Structure 1
């Protein structure tokens, strides 16, 4: 998994690319550190270029959501398609995230 940040207007976008698996835990820790440092009101994960997500990666997204919810920040999942969208639907993540 590769990632890049885009920020502005009180929001932080995390643009992800590739496969998101348990092996990406260190990268996700970097993402969480940036979120905790910037404390944006809105956190958007752009999943348009993500081709695969496993259950560990979904767990990592939920960790971010839990940390953000303590400060009443919004977490958005954007642009998911294919297997990623299917897993988000099966996991009923619309209950925990805003889906775009």
Structure 2
């Protein structure tokens, strides 16, 4: 997984690219630490360049949801396509977090 991010006016936007799998857990935890350190009001994970995700990747989104609740910021998942979009829909992730897969 590759991660690029930017902070703008209280919004932390992270673009996740390539694949999100169990092996990416340490990098994902660091991303969440960086979000917490920035203390945003809103965090957006842009998934438009993420081509694959496994069950551990879905679990990492659950960890991010809990971090958002604890940190007092909102979380949105946006731009998912293909396989990633299908898994987000099948897992009903939209019941836990804002998901925009338009």
- 3-state SS in 2 of match to 1:40: coil
Aligned structure 1 segments of 4 or more residues deviating by more than 4 angstroms: none
Gap runs ≥5 in structure 2: none
Tell me the secondary structure at the aligned position of residue 80 of structure 1.
coil
The aligned length equals: 100
CA positional deviation for 1:93:
0.4
2:37 maps to 37
TM-score by length of 1: 0.95
Matches within 5 A, 1:69-84: 69-84=69-84
Quote the residue 2:13 is aligned against: 13
CA shift for structure 1 position 70: 2.5
Of 79-88 and 32-41, deviating more is 32-41
Once residues 82 and 21 of structure 1 are traced to their aligned partners in structure 2, the CA distance between those partners, rounded to angstroms, is 16
Q: CA separation in 1, counterparts of 2:71 and 2:17?
A: 27
Extract unaligned runs of 5+ from structure 1. none
